[in-house]
Amino acid sequence: MPSRIFVTGLGFISGMGSNVQENLTSLLNLRSAIGPIRHIETNLKDELAVSEVLMTNEELMKYAGLQNTEVYTRNTLLGIVAANEAFSHACLNNHPGIRIGLISGTTVGGMDECEKYYQDFLTNDSKNSFISTYDCADSTEKIADNLGLKGFMTTISTACSSAANSIMFASRLMKAGKLDCAIAGGTESLTKFHLNGFNALKILDKQPCRPFDATRNGINLGEGAAYLVMETEETNKKTGNTVICELVGYGNACEAFHQTASSPDGTGAYLAMKKALDMSGETPDTVDYINAHGTGTDNNDLSEGRAIEKLFTGKVPYVSSTKPFTGHMTSAAGSAEAIISILGLQNGIIWPNMNFSNPMPELQFRPAGEMIRSVNMKVVMSNSFGFGGNDSSLIFKKHGIH
């Protein structure tokens, strides 16, 4: 059975940019995408800071080269843009004989359109076409159709760990010999339901978020999509695609401590990271950087911080949360932050934990406050933790390093 999984393609759209290069440029220039709400008509429009993709749905359709013959939600459009980029990056059109799967994570599905019409649905069915887009799988099917994929596809919805779990599941399918190659990640658009739900939990910050800061006050939501193309080592010999890095470890733990909160001692986060580390064959002292889940909430940052200190006893590697750049992309966060971690690995850069200034008294380590360049990086970890304690960690390694 295949044992090694290589990353050979990346696709990424967020408030920072419409492709991988634009996102990288924003990161390098410390350009945050967090700002006022533009697209959503909501009572919270003047209250909350979010990260929105600047293009309208019509502009996204044009950018993706789509015709107005299908009903596309914003969630689907974002996914198509990012998946297309990843697919093209890996030149998969040139290799029709390989078994390609699509594993996509999302939670809001078609809420962005359906929520506009549900109140008058029973008396006015003129917007009926959008009801069929409500299901989360609708975006996955349309992404696959756009890419011409006819094989295995599935949708994963585990809240904020969805995209990370999609990457993990894709790797397991390839290692089991079910697929030769997979496009895995997630897509999520902002919706009123989204905003109101998190606002009801009282965990949204009206100012730019400050993960791991003693004054942290919550999340800034974000939207976008990100996908990775992954191939088995055997498939890569056939495609000849350039290997970006290797997925060497992953772990998931569902602690079920609370519907929305992590356990105070970080049990789930610790187990997820420990499982990923054990699979990778690495040791705590060989991990160069952790892209933390780091939402900026009181609960998450303390829980995750304690878990990191427990696993990396005595020597915590560089740690930062990149959510002050992108906002919290919820179901797409895992793949977006995996790509950001991989870009750091490629370029020898530790991304800064922007807006950090006041250390948390409960933690010994401090996140990276500034960008650090020219770092000899070999191994990076990316954490994604979802509601219900569904916690996942991914470990990527520079190709050719033993």
Please identify which of the residues 39, 89, 194, 293 carries the catalytic annotation.
293
Residue 175 three-state SS? helix
User: In the β-sheet with 390-397, what is the strand arrangement from edge to edge?
Assistant: 153-156, 100-105, 181-188, 224-232, 5-14, 245-254, 390-397, 379-386, 289-291, 318-320
| Angle at 32 (CA atoms; ends 188, 373), nearest 5 degrees | 110
User: With contact defined as beta carbons under 8 Å apart, do 199 and 48 qualify?
Assistant: yes
Beta bridge partners of 204: 219
In angstroms, the CA 323 to CA 291 distance is 10
Kindly report the backbone phi and psi dihedral angles of residue 310, in degrees, each rounded to the nearest multiple of 5, phi listed first. -70, -40
User: With contact defined as beta carbons under 8 Å apart, do 151 and 99 qualify?
Assistant: yes
Cα 181 versus chain centre, distance: 19
User: With contact defined as beta carbons under 8 Å apart, do 363 and 306 qualify?
Assistant: yes
In angstroms, the CA 225 to CA 240 distance is 26
Please state whether 218 falls in left (phi above 0), alpha (psi between -120 and 50) or beta: left
In angstroms, the CA 238 to CA 161 distance is 32
Please confirm, yes or no, whether 245 is among the known catalytic residues. no
Please confirm, yes or no, whether 160 is among the known catalytic residues. yes
Beta bridge partners of 383: 393
Please identify which of the residues 39, 89, 194, 328 carries the catalytic annotation.
328
Please confirm, yes or no, whether 194 is among the known catalytic residues. no
Please identify which of the residues 160, 181, 209, 245 carries the catalytic annotation.
160
Q: Report, as residue numbers or ranges, the catalytic residues.
A: 160, 293, 328
